[in-house]
Amino acid sequence: NAGVMQNPRHLVRRRGQEARLRCSPMKGHSHVYWYRQLPEEGLKFMVYLQKENIIDESGMPKERFSAEFPKEGPSILRIQQVVRGDSAAYFCASSPTGQDEQYFGPGTRLTVT
Amino acid sequence: DQQVKQNSPSLSVQEGRISILNCDYTNSMFDYFLWYKKYPAEGPTFLISISSIKDKNEDGRFTVFLNKSAKHLSLHIVPSQPGDSAVYFCAARGSSGGSYIPTFGRGTSLIVHP
């Protein structure tokens, strides 16, 4: 049973470009969470999705950031017009229901130059 | 405003001794607590949890203690092993009203010396 998959593992973007981060949850998991970890910081919740629905996006910046979890395919975290402050590790987690422990992917390290 | 605080950024312990990692929280609505372990370049992995109806939960070498009145929990690792060297995150969440999303502390980096 494969774990949570994230790709790419490393992503370099120039300021102003778009970044797309992908997350495939564990098999049987329909709940996906995105977190961001800045250097020397803990994990900060961004958004919680269940197939085709955004359940909670209270941690997501209002501009430039969006997330989706379509019926088919991985969940996507999209950052438009990236800035240096977006450089961070972005982790995806999944759970079978919204009440269980979350299983994390290996993360995508975004570097904005 | 940090609702979950891990005040020690790092901890160094000798192999075979006890490691004690501490965590404090401020939100009275939190009633479920988790510890995650993270190696470099990997995602966090769930280690152990405790519900607020308990004050202790044990799993092998790992024991979590909860002091609700002090809003404090701790993770004990006995005996510590070099492979335990990692960053440990404390997390807390509610269990009602849909508040199942955990709030994480900043982590404590544990180094176990051989």
Q: What is the pLDDT of residues A47-89, one digit of tens each?
A: 999 988 999 999 999 999 999 999 889 999 999 999 999 999 9
* Exposed / middle / buried, residue A17 (Cβ in 10 Å: 0-12, 13-18, 19+): middle
The answer to whether the Cβ–Cβ distance between A107 and B43 falls below 8 Å is yes
- In A, minimum Cα distance to B89 occurs at A42
Nearest-Cα distance to chain B for A4, in Å, is: 9
Q: How many CB pairs under 8 A join A and B?
A: 48
- Select the residue of A33, A103, A106 nearest B101 (Cβ to Cβ): A33
The answer to whether the Cβ–Cβ distance between B100 and A98 falls below 8 Å is yes
Q: Report yes or no: B97 at the A interface, CB cutoff 8 Å.
A: no
In this prediction, residue B103 carries a pLDDT of 92
The answer to whether the Cβ–Cβ distance between B104 and A44 falls below 8 Å is yes
From CA B89, how far away is CA B82, in angstroms rounded?
A: 18
Report the 3 state secondary structure along chain B.
Answer: CCCEECCCCEEEEECCCCEEEEEEECCCCCCEEEEEEECCCCCCEEEEEEECCCCEEEECCEEEEEECCCCEEEEEECCCCHHHCEEEEEEEECCCCCCCCCEECCCEEEEEEC
Q: Which residue has the tokens 């359940």?
A: A55
pLDDT tens string, chain B, 114 residues long: the values are: 789 999 999 999 999 999 999 999 999 999 999 999 999 989 999 999 999 999 999 999 999 999 999 999 999 999 999 999 999 999 999 876 655 889 999 999 999 999
Nearest-Cα distance to chain A for B79, in Å, is: 26
Given a cut of 70, whether residue A1 has pLDDT beyond it is no
- In A, minimum Cα distance to B48 occurs at A101
Q: With beta carbons less than 8 A apart as the criterion, state whether A104 and A29 touch.
A: no
Residue A100 dihedral angles phi and psi, to the nearest 5°:
-100, 170
